[in-house]
Amino acid sequence: MKSLIYRRIIMLALPIALTFLLALGVAPYFVHALSGKRPAQNNTPPTADFTIDPPQGVVGTTFFFDPIASSDNEDSDAWLLARFDLDGDGVWDTGWLNPTNPPWPHTYSAPGTYQVKLEVKDRGGLSDTKIKTLQVADPGANTPPTAQCAVTPASGPPGTTFTFSAAGSADAQDPVSALQVKWDKWGTFDFRGQTWQPATQNVSFTYDGIGIHDVDLIVMDSGYLMGEARCTVEIIPPGGNQPPTASLVITPTTGSITTTFTIDVSGSVDDHDPLNMMQVRFDWTNDGYYDTSWLNASSAFQYVFADVWGQITVRILLMDSGGLTDEATQTVTVTTPYHIYLPFTRR
């Protein structure tokens, strides 16, 4: 009852309060605050701006279009929207993107002069456009470089300094000293803020989070053609890597030589590796010899014991990314529909 009375009092008082605010000239701000919108009369258009990296290139060059330089007096970048017409044909080639997203990559299939257009829109619906001219040439006989990423060490605890090298990259026309590279520490193919540097110059990164981290590399030759590669590092818990714990579940536990048995190792765990970072191999009859190569432990496995029967023990060897291993076994019963006759011997 009291809450109902309070609601009625508020409903009666609200018009009086709005009248008072209107007299003070702040009612429009109050109403827009309730609706989550700014007063339209205070909104000004954003300023569209973008960069193209590299600023020129050839057919096959991966250009990165970055609208992060756009701005607005009322809205932060996180509230703006941007889209590109990459070839000047009047058709937008991207949907609305947030300028804080990674730069948009695009490769042209034909040489020419392209009018690249950016439109930026704020929360109030006001917009601005910017056009830049991009020259795309014919690559001629030039071929793309082959990117190669190397890292040392491959793993370490948080705070480890990992050194990355692109010196193994190669190009048919250019020596490695003429190649340029960019690195993305977080493996998102986002090279914003990175400058082109010599391929012979190493970079170093450190990480705090336990787990696998990808690092992207892009290599560009003197003719603006590019190659890509990826390195992976592993951050392991302080105190070092611990062996995984292997798990093996076979269903059904009884079948014949025609039964398809499901082999499940998904219960295997490791202190830092997810299942898809571990490998497994199988010894189908526990004879001491592995019958398979190393396989991804997250895969689905099946097996038919077509030529053996009886009590069959299956053994697996599980290995984590640090090379440590664990084994597990399970015994199943395999029958045969055929009658087995033993030879008769006389004494």
- Of residues 6 and 173, more confidently modeled: 173
Query: What integer pLDDT is reported at residue 319 of this predicted model?
Result: 94
The boundaries of every CATH 2.60.40.10 domain in the chain are: 51-137, 150-235
CATH architecture of 51-137: Sandwich (2.60)
Report the relative pairing of strands 310-319 and 301-303 from DSSP bridges. unpaired
Confidence grade of residue 271 (pLDDT, cut at 50, 70, 90): confident
Confidence grade of residue 340 (pLDDT, cut at 50, 70, 90): low
Neighbour count for residue 133 (Cβ, 10 Å) = 11
Query: What integer pLDDT is reported at residue 26 of this predicted model?
Result: 41
Query: What integer pLDDT is reported at residue 41 of this predicted model?
Result: 64
| pLDDT higher than threshold 50 for residue 134 | yes
Query: What integer pLDDT is reported at residue 345 of this predicted model?
Result: 56
Place of tokens 């990826």: 230
- Summarised one tens digit per residue, pLDDT across range 60-113 is 999 999 999 999 999 999 999 999 999 999 999 999 999 999 999 999 999 999
Query: What integer pLDDT is reported at residue 285 of this predicted model?
Result: 95
- Summarised one tens digit per residue, pLDDT across range 276-285 is 999 999 999 9
Neighbour count for residue 104 (Cβ, 10 Å) = 19
- Work out the average pLDDT over 122-146: 98
Q: Are 162 and 209 in contact (CB under 8 A)?
A: no
- Summarised one tens digit per residue, pLDDT across range 287-337 is 999 999 999 999 999 999 999 999 999 999 999 988 889 999 999 999 998
- Work out the average pLDDT over 214-224: 98
| pLDDT higher than threshold 80 for residue 40 | no
- Show Cβ contacts of residue 59 under 8 Å, excluding neighbours closer than 6 positions: 107, 108, 109, 110, 111, 136, 137, 138, 139
What's the CATH number for 249-335? 2.60.40.1080
Tokens of 203: 């970079």
| pLDDT higher than threshold 80 for residue 121 | yes
H, E, C per residue of the chain = CHHHHHHHHHHHHHHHHHHHHHHHCCHHHHHHHHHCCCCHHHCCCCECCCEEECCCEECCCCEEEECCCCECCCCCHHHCEEEEECCCCCCCCCCCECCCCCCEEECCCCCEEEEEEEEEECCCCCEEEEEEEEEEECCCCCCCCECCCEEECCEECCCCCEEEECCCCECCCCCHHHCEEEEECCCCCCCCCCCCEECCCCEEECCCCCEEEEEEEEEECCCCCEEEEEEEEEECCCCCCCCCECCCEEECCEEECCCCEEEECCCCECCCCCHHHCEEEEECCCCCCCCCCCEECCCCEEECCCCCCEEEEEEEEEECCCCCEEEEEEEEEEECCCCCCCCCCCC
- Show Cβ contacts of residue 243 under 8 Å, excluding neighbours closer than 6 positions: 320, 324, 325, 326
- Summarised one tens digit per residue, pLDDT across range 251-268 is 999 999 999 999 999 999
- pLDDT over 70, % of the chain: 86
| pLDDT higher than threshold 80 for residue 9 | no
Confidence grade of residue 21 (pLDDT, cut at 50, 70, 90): very low
- Work out the average pLDDT over 200-204: 98
Report the relative pairing of strands 254-256 and 325-335 from DSSP bridges. parallel
User: Does the structural domain 150-235 have CATH classification 2.60.40.10?
Assistant: yes
Confidence grade of residue 343 (pLDDT, cut at 50, 70, 90): low
Query: What integer pLDDT is reported at residue 28 of this predicted model?
Result: 41
Query: What integer pLDDT is reported at residue 273 of this predicted model?
Result: 86
CA 8 to CA 15: how far, in whole Å? 12
What is the phi/psi pair of residue 112, to 5°?
155, 180
Among 1-5, 45-49, 232-236, which range has the highest average pLDDT? 45-49
pTM value is: 0.64
Confidence grade of residue 8 (pLDDT, cut at 50, 70, 90): very low
Query: What integer pLDDT is reported at residue 23 of this predicted model?
Result: 44
Query: What integer pLDDT is reported at residue 80 of this predicted model?
Result: 98
* CB-side neighbour CA atoms (13 Å) of 146: 4
